[in-house]
């Protein structure tokens, strides 16, 4: 199975790298996992009751190819 990584990117372009990744069967499953990660990491982007814009989850392949960039914006997947 392909390995996908889910990195958190801050508004200042600091990247919190996923050093483990997930073995997933396909890109569709990685897409769904990326949406869930953006929701799960909502607390990173929260300041009080507000979401600070500019936070993202980037989904990449094992080779570093960017697949998707999901905003962490407080919306449910």
Query: 39 lies in which domain range?
Result: 3-71
In a domain, 77, yes or no: no
In a domain, 35, yes or no: yes
In a domain, 76, yes or no: no
pLDDT band at 76 (very low <50, low <70, confident <90, very high): low
Please compute the mean of the pLDDT values over residues 49-73 and round it to a whole number: 95
CA distance 25 to 2: 6
Model pLDDT for residues 5-27, shown as the tens digit of each residue: 999 999 999 999 999 999 999 99
In a domain, 38, yes or no: yes
Mapped onto helix, strand or coil, the DSSP state of residue 14 is coil
Dihedral sign from CA coordinates of 40, 5, 11, 15: positive
In a domain, 7, yes or no: yes
In this predicted structure, the answer to whether residue 74 has a pLDDT above a threshold of 90 is: no
Number of domains in the chain: 1
């Amino acid at each position: 199975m392909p390995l996908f990584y889910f990195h958190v990117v801050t508004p200042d372009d600091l990247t919190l790298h996923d050093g483990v990744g997930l073995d997933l069967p396909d890109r569709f499953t990685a897409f769904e996992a990326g949406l869930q990660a953006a929701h799960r990491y909502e607390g990173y982007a929260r300041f009080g009751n507000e979401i600070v814009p500019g936070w993202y989850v980037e989904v990449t392949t094992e080779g570093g190819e960017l697949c998707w960039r999901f905003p962490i914006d407080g919306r449910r997947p």
